[in-house]
Amino acid sequence: MAVRKTRLAVLVSGQGSNLQALIDAISVGILDAEIALVLSSKPRAFALERAGKARIPTAVASWKAFVEEFGRSRRETYDAALAGIVAGYDPDFIFLLGWMRVLGRSFLDHFPGKVVNLHPALPGTFPGEGAIAKAWESGQAGKTKVFGAMTHFVPDEGVDSGPVILSESLPLENFASLEGFEAAMHRLEHRLVVETAKKLCNYKE
């Protein structure tokens, strides 16, 4: 009887470079898992093209279209619909990789201990959007010397505040420009998300 590989669902909203890191790690045997679904909140997200090239099932749940039809006050309905889509692919873990929406209980309660977020900052620092730019500005002002990235579980609606899985630091003083810093941060993110997936796959076993 064949052993089932760890199944990952990946939620995206944009370019999907961290998704690509997982796809590449699986393709060369670094990561023993399969991506069961890539779900995007935006129909034109480039991440969907990456998934298509890798023959990974995709789905779109456009938040913008939902708001136009039902209004923002129906957020719980949207989250419940997301949960229904994701549950249909029976994932062991759900990775939020550039997913630009806070998920509520209508989603999270369906997947306790399974939702993982990647955030480009160290625990307790620079929550929310624009963390890399904020860290650079803080560094230029002499307020921050070390930055980094982390992966963490998402047990509730807290923003980038769940239990940490892995984190790694990156000294700001090593970089002369925001562009160089951003490139290094993205390389760090790619490495961290693959190492996190490997760790969770081992944990599942």
Residue 1 maps to a domain: no
Residue 50 maps to a domain: yes
Position 57 pLDDT exceeds 90: yes
Model confidence pLDDT, tens digit, residues 87-137: 999 999 999 999 988 899 999 999 999 999 999 999 988 888 888 888 888
pLDDT at 204: 56
Per-residue pLDDT band for 181 (boundaries 50, 70, 90) equals: confident
CA pair distance 121, 128, nearest whole angstrom: 10
CATH number, domain containing residue 15: 3.40.50.170
Per-residue pLDDT band for 75 (boundaries 50, 70, 90) equals: confident
Q: Could you tell me the residue range of the domain that residue 75 belongs to?
A: 6-204
Residue 122 maps to a domain: yes
158 exposure class (CB count in 10 Å sphere: 0-12, 13-18, 19+):
exposed
Residues that are catalytic: 119
Give the chain's domain count: 1
pLDDT at 144: 81
Residue 39 maps to a domain: yes
pLDDT at 73: 66
Residue predicted with more confidence, 136 or 7: 7
